[in-house]
Amino acid sequence: MHVIGWILAGTGSLLSAASAVVLIRANPGSKVPIWRRAEHVPAASTRTLILGSGCAIFSAMFMADGQKYWPIVLYTLAVGAMVGVIAAHNWWVRRSRG
């Protein structure tokens, strides 16, 4: 059961980061707020984020009995990947504007 949890955790992290990439590609020249809604939010970004969050949360169910704190760490990494991608995009937009 732990293998399923690890697979779901990895898939959730990748899908969450992919959601941020789709969101950034929809807003190439404008900053994307991290904790608010962006100007353009494609449906694919929302669907990918829902699937990624679901995978990350369900991975905790499969790893809860033996892994203790790992599900929390992996979900934090998934959120950190999203925030990191958006922060890098915002830095690049700010730098290109001069």
pLDDT band at residue 91 using 50, 70 and 90 as cut-offs: very high
User: Distance (Å, rounded) from C-alpha 56 to C-alpha 78?
Assistant: 8
Stated length of the chain: 98
| pLDDT tens column, 24-55 | 999 998 999 988 888 999 999 999 999 988 98
Whole-structure pTM value: 0.82
Mean pLDDT of 59-76: 76
Among residues 37, 36, 55, 44, the alpha carbon closest in space to that of 19 is found at 44
Above 90 in pLDDT, residue 64? no
